[in-house]
Amino acid sequence: MSATSQSPQVPARGRRADAVRNQQTLLSAAAAVFVTSGVEAPIREIAARAGVGIGTIYRHFPTRADLVVAVYRHQVQACADAGPALLASADSPFAALRQWVDLFIDFLVTKHGLANALQSDTGGFDALHTYFLDNLVPVCAQLLDAAADAGEITPGISAVELMRGIGNLCIGGDKDPRYDPRRLVALLLRGLAQPR
């Protein structure tokens, strides 16, 4: 095989890697905008934050629902990946849990707009909820177990209980600027801590 017949493959791989990186950048930008401005934020705001044109967003995600679902999956994966990384790098398992909960809250802010974006696609919403549970409950459980094993929190707290409690505290935060769910979640986490 000649060098000329191999050369088209190398740029194609490079383009694919670039396309994946660009899409990840776009999804991260959209997630950040959704956290601050909601899922109905103007596409131009997302494009500006990502440093791309509006057409690039529509080329990857023809509808807002497509974009919201992709951001949802992206955030679930980022949250799932962050758990073990935080556990390895944080000062303590409880510190890792607190940092992970901050990421989880950012995710929940986006998730609250998901139902509206999908409208009548309840099957799609159910599949995404299963994806959420399958990927995030084990990570939260790992963080809770590590903090309990280190004697930092009361043992016996289930991941589903904690995640549901955090989720309930986050409801309404987008509708009332006087309500700060992060403050209440911080109180909840302090309540888990073992007295020293």
If residue 108 lies in a helix (H) or strand (E), which one and from where to where? helix 93-111
Q: Is 178 exposed, middle or buried (0-12, 13-18, 19+ CB in 10 A)?
A: exposed
10 pLDDT tier (thresholds 50, 70, 90): very low
Indicate if the pLDDT at residue 169 is higher than 70. Answer: yes
Same domain, 9 and 84: no
Same domain, 95 and 40: no
Same domain, 96 and 57: no
Q: Which domain holds residue 3?
A: 1-62
Same domain, 122 and 161: yes
Which spans in 7-92 are helix H? Answer: 9-37, 43-50, 54-60, 64-89
Same domain, 128 and 193: yes
Number of Cβ within a 10 Å radius of residue 62: 10
Same domain, 79 and 50: no
Query: Domains in the chain: how many in total?
Result: 2
Give the pLDDT confidence of 88-139 residue by residue, as tens digits: 999 999 999 999 999 998 888 766 666 566 555 556 667 888 898 999 999 9
Same domain, 79 and 147: yes
Instruction: Give the pair of three-digit tokens for residue 194.
Output: 């073992």
pTM for the predicted model, two decimal places: 0.77
